[in-house]
Amino acid sequence: MLALALPALLVILLLIVLPVGWLAWQSVYHDGFTLENYRRIWSEDIYWRSFALTFQISLLVTLLALLLGYPIAYAASVAPKRWGIVILALVVLPFWTSVLVRAYAWLALLQRTGVINQVLRQLGVIDEPLALVHNTFGTVVATLHILLPFMVLPLYATMQQIPRDLMQAGASLGAGPMLAFWRIFLPLSLPGVLAGSTLVFVLTLGFYITPELLGGGRTIMISMLVSRNVELYDQWGAASAVGVVLLVAVGLIFFAVSRFIPLDRVLGQK
């Protein structure tokens, strides 16, 4: 049995254990053992502001993705099979385009001379171009668009497993469509809500390309802080310490979620 599992264990060792171990080692070793890199995270405002902004944007993107993704997943699950496939195809279609291309597309749409500002000015809605990009707004919009499928797909998978007979049973007992949805469908779809929210939140925590392009240097998220420590200051230890703290935060989030639903459901395996 151990021989059969040995290849998988070697892959896990090479691709996960060793890189994470090296990351942790770099964060505490520089000409000897030191906790200086973690002290900087604790004592310098730039780290606190970046962590706070990253979690704020992650929460906002997760909430907006849930508000947009739930109706889409519900429509795909209750629609006739042909239309359900069309809805899912429209959701999955962006996966076929590079994240970098989509980020640049949003940059072209939202900039001061972009399509949205030009249309609003021609319609007389605004006199001066709106600041839609190189700020938190542009970062949230582009990140939301890129990560929306990660909310829709777990929701759809959960909704597909809800027996439709339960809704009919509720209707036969006198419940209207809204009451049956509120008392039956919504509670049974909560595992999908939790799974999708966890995926979107965790992915947003480590997002790099979109805040780098759409944030314009004003929206400094954790991933950008790691990049700047390496590229500008050659501080590999500081970058590793930030990565370790972010990794621990993600681990705590998954642990908290696993207290409510099995972790394999969060990962979309069941």
pTM, two decimals, is 0.85
- In this prediction, residue 206 carries a pLDDT of 85
- In this prediction, residue 75 carries a pLDDT of 93
pLDDT (tens digit per residue) in 183-194: 888 999 988 898
- In this prediction, residue 263 carries a pLDDT of 59
Collect the ranges in the chain with pLDDT lower than 70.
Answer: 1, 261-270
- In this prediction, residue 267 carries a pLDDT of 56
Q: SS3 string of the chain?
A: CHHHHHHHHHHHHHHHHHHHHHHHHHHHECCCECCHHHHHHHHCHHHHHHHHHHHHHHHHHHHHHHHHHHHHHHHHHHCCHHHHHHHHHHHHHHHHCCHHHHHHHHHHHHCCCCHHHHHHHHCCCCCCCCCCCCCHHHHHHHHHHHHHHHHHHHHHHHHHCCCHHHHHHHHHCCCCHHHHHHHHHHHHCHHHHHHHHHHHHHHHHCCCHHHHHHCCCCCCCHHHHHHHHHHCCCCHHHHHHHHHHHHHHHHHHHHHHHCCCCHHHHCCCC
- In this prediction, residue 210 carries a pLDDT of 86
- In this prediction, residue 71 carries a pLDDT of 95
pLDDT (tens digit per residue) in 93-102: 877 788 888 8
- In this prediction, residue 151 carries a pLDDT of 93
